[in-house]
Structure 1
Amino acid sequence: MLAERFIKSAVIYVIIGMALGVHMGMSQDHSQMPAHAHINLVGWVSMALMGLIYKTWPKTGEHRLAPLTFWLAHLGLIVMIAGVAMIYAGHAEFEPVAGIGSLITFANMLLFAFLVWRGLQD
């Protein structure tokens, strides 16, 4: 179930990321390219890979903290993207928001790495 939630979320993020890319191309305003890149790389690629890893190696998702990776992934990404989008819209005061989102995302990846390492020991 955790794997499927990650994969479904990844599909939603790639649609959002591609829609933003199409909008940037049509409007010739590429100021949100960093937000677009983060949505696609962290939202689409990272979440899809996390889902596929949880699906391929089920032991990685058996720890009681595994569901937390799903919620932290979303929280970190949403906060980071909001901050990055605002920074590139000319609001430098949102740099701490992007930083907080990045730290949440990094902490989550450390947790995920621990779960993968632990799950692949057997």
Structure 2
Amino acid sequence: MGVKLIKVSALYFVLGVSLGYYMSVAHAYHLTGVHAHVNLLGWTSMTLAGLIYILFPKAGSSMLGKIHFWLHNIGLPLMMVGLFLLLQGNSALEVLIPIGATCVLVAVILFAVNVLLNVKKEEVEARFQK
């Protein structure tokens, strides 16, 4: 899961920077919320989760890690498409925002539970004593 999260986060990084570029060129600053969420929940959060899953393989290979990965990567695009359209004046798919946000929230809660259960101080100490 760690490598998968980092690879997907790189795509979110490209998307976030591309959206920021578009916003600058088109003066479409009303899309700042989408830009920020793509960069923070996509690029930054997924990269950090990926690194944690690599450093702590038990967390990365757990069922919680797998569910976290899928919920995060289903919820974030749903939420961002809904928010993008809403900010463009189209409320037809506004329902995607709370659906996606709920998926991401549950994913983040499962990530936190996974860290609490499967990230152990002893693994860090053993890794750095080698």
> What TM-score comes out, normalization by structure 2 length?
0.86
Number of the residue aligned with 2:99: 100
Q: Which digits, 9 at most, give the CA deviation of each residue in 1:18-55, with x for residues without a partner?
A: 00101110111212111111100100011001101101
Runs of 4+ in structure 1 over 3 Å off: 92-95
Query: Unaligned regions of 5+ residues in structure 1, if any?
Result: none
**Which residue number corresponds to residue 12 of structure 1?**
11
Report the alpha carbon displacement of residue 93 of structure 1 after superposing the two structures with TM.
Answer: 4.7
Structure 1 distance, partners of 2:54, 2:117, is 15
Q: Give the letter aligned to residue 3 of structure 1.
A: G
Aligned equivalents of 1:69, 1:120: Cα separation in 2: 15
Give the whole-Å Cα distance in 2 for the aligned partners of 1:120 and 1:91: 43
Q: Secondary structure at the match of 1:48?
A: helix
Please give the root-mean-square deviation of Cα atoms over the aligned residues, in Å. Answer: 1.4
Distance 1:62 1:81 in 2: 28
1:117 and 2:119 are equivalent in the alignment: no
Identity of aligned residues (%): 33
The match for 1:21 is 20
Unpaired segments of 5 or more residues in structure 2? 123-130
Aligned to 1:91: 90
The number of aligned residues is: 121
Shift of 1:62: 3.0
User: In the alignment, what sits opposite 1:30?
Assistant: 29
Distance 2:77 2:20 in 1: 17
Q: Secondary structure at the match of 1:104?
A: helix
Question: Structure 2 counterpart of 1:45, which letter?
Answer: T
> What is the one-letter code of the residue matched to 1:37?
A
Structure 1 residue 78 and structure 2 residue 72: aligned? no
Decide which structure has the larger Cα Rg and report it.
2
2 CA distance for matches of 1:39 and 1:64? 25
* Distance of 2:117 and 2:55 partners within structure 1: 15
